[in-house]
């Protein structure tokens, strides 16, 4: 579905990603793991057309993405729930959700809105409230809901769990599995290797801007050096 080949990206004249290769098949949950500053967000921004690639290619369903504008990429069904959520804080929760459906012209937007409220009753209670006044967990639900409102085929999730209580993280990650069950392919970016790999089919490990490791989740979970590096376990 998505194939990234030999991708290099940077800011100004500083290279941040070196020769990245990554593939995602339809219906998969793929985890992308890496510590702070590894380049995870940079990769996702490049996928969304927010950063121009230096070299390499990004193909999605056979189409080259690397020179497309962000709105074209969104139209193709790729959606990012960005790190830090980036909600429209001065807008109500409902308006944020509707912004997610901005490009949609079909008649089922209302229906999907109700679906989001069923998924997140907390958002339903606060639909008229300004998004900036929500708690961290609620904001993350709103950001995820906003992405879902676009009916993405490929959903990119950037560190949803950042700063949230473990119970909310569990709930959100379990929901990701459910979303995949409904036909959405997911690229899950997380720092918590265990939580992510327990839900993902496969994983990639990004270190200092290079893809250092990849494989099926169980293999990565039992990989000794990873366990030492990320879980502090010997």
Partner 1 sequence: MHLWLQIILNGILQGGILGISALAFSLQWGVMNLINLAHGSFQILAAYVAMVLLQRLGLDPFLAMPLVFLIFLAGGYLLQFGIINRVISGNLFMTLLLTYGLDFVLANFMILLFTADYKSVNTPYANSSWHLLGFQFPIVRTLALIFLVILSLLLWLFLEYSRTGRAIRATSMGTEPARLMGLKIPKVYALTFGLSSGLAAIGGIFFGLSNAFSPAAGGPLTVGAFVVTILGGVGTSWGPLVGGLILGVLDAVGSVILGPTYVNIITFGLLLIILILRPTGVLGRAAT
Ligand X SMILES: Nc1ncnc2c1ncn2[C@@H]1O[C@H](COP(=O)(O)OP(=O)(O)OP(=O)(O)O)[C@@H](O)[C@H]1O
Which range, of 12-20, 77-85, 180-188, 194-202, touches partner 1 by CB under 8 A?
77-85
Q: What is the 3-state secondary structure (H, E, C) of 181-226?
A: HCCCEEEEEECCHHHHHHHCCEEEEEECCEEEEEEEHHHHHHCHHH
The least distance separating partner 1 from the CB of residue 148, rounded to whole angstroms, comes to 13
Question: Rounded to whole angstroms, how far apart are CA atoms 69 and 132?
Answer: 28
Q: What is the 3-state secondary structure (H, E, C) of 58-77?
A: EEECCEECCCCCHHHHHHCC
Question: Rounded to whole angstroms, how far apart are CA atoms 81 and 100?
Answer: 10
Residue 169 contacts partner 1 per CB under 8 A: no
Residue list 69-88, contact with Mg ion (CB under 5 A): 83
The least distance separating ligand X from the CB of residue 42, rounded to whole angstroms, comes to 3
Binder of residue 89, out of Mg ion, ligand X, partner 1, none (CB less than 5 to 8 A by kind):
partner 1
The least distance separating ligand X from the CB of residue 16, rounded to whole angstroms, comes to 4
Residue 17 contacts partner 1 per CB under 8 A: no
| Interface positions with ligand X (CB under 6 A) | 11, 16, 34, 36-42, 83, 159, 191
Residue 91 contacts partner 1 per CB under 8 A: yes
Count of residues engaged in binding Mg ion, rule: CB under 5 A:
3
The least distance separating ligand X from the CB of residue 39, rounded to whole angstroms, comes to 4
Specify whether the backbone of 189 is left (phi greater than 0), alpha (psi in -120 to 50) or beta.
beta
Question: Rounded to whole angstroms, how far apart are CA atoms 123 and 142?
Answer: 7
Binder of residue 11, out of Mg ion, ligand X, partner 1, none (CB less than 5 to 8 A by kind):
ligand X
Q: Which DSSP helix (H) or strand (E) runs through 94? A: helix 93-100
Question: Rounded to whole angstroms, how far apart are CA atoms 42 and 17?
Answer: 8
Among 87, 160, 197, 221, binds partner 1 (CB under 8 A): 87
Q: Are 141 and 123 in contact (CB under 8 A)?
A: yes
Residue 161 contacts Mg ion per CB under 5 A: no
Q: Which is nearer to partner 1, 2 or 226 (CB)?
A: 2
- Strand arrangement of the beta sheet that strand 210-216 belongs to: 78-81, 154-158, 185-190, 29-33, 202-207, 210-216
Q: Which residues sit at the interface with partner 1, rule CB under 8 A? A: 48, 50, 69-71, 74-75, 79-80, 82, 86-91, 95, 98-100, 102-103, 146, 150
């Amino acid at each position: 579905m998505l194939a990234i080949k030999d991708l290099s990206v940077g800011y100004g004249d500083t290279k941040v990603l070196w020769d990245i290769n990554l593939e995602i098949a339809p219906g998969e949950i793929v985890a992308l793991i890496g510590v702070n500053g590894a380049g995870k967000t940079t990769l996702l921004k490049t996928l969304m057309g927010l950063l121009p690639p230096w070299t390499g290619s990004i193909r999605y369903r056979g189409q080259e993405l690397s020179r497309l504008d962000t709105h074209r990429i969104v139209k193709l069904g790729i959606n990012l729930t960005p790190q830090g959520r980036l909600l429209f804080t001065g807008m109500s929760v409902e308006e944020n959700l509707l912004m997610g459906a901005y490009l949609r012209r079909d008649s089922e937007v209302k229906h999907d809105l109700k679906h989001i409220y069923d998924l997140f009753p907390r958002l339903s209670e606060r639909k008229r409230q300004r998004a900036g006044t929500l708690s961290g967990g609620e904001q993350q639900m709103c950001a995820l809901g906003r992405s879902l409102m676009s009916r993405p085929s490929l959903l990119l999730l950037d560190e949803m769990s950042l700063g949230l209580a473990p119970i909310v993280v569990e709930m959100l990650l379990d929901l990701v599995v459910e979303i995949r069950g409904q036909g959405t392919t997911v690229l899950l970016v997380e720092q918590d290797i265990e939580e992510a790999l327990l839900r993902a089919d496969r994983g990639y490990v990004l270190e200092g801007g290079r893809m250092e490791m990849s494989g099926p989740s169980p293999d990565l979970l039992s990989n000794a050096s990873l366990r030492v590096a990320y879980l502090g376990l010997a």
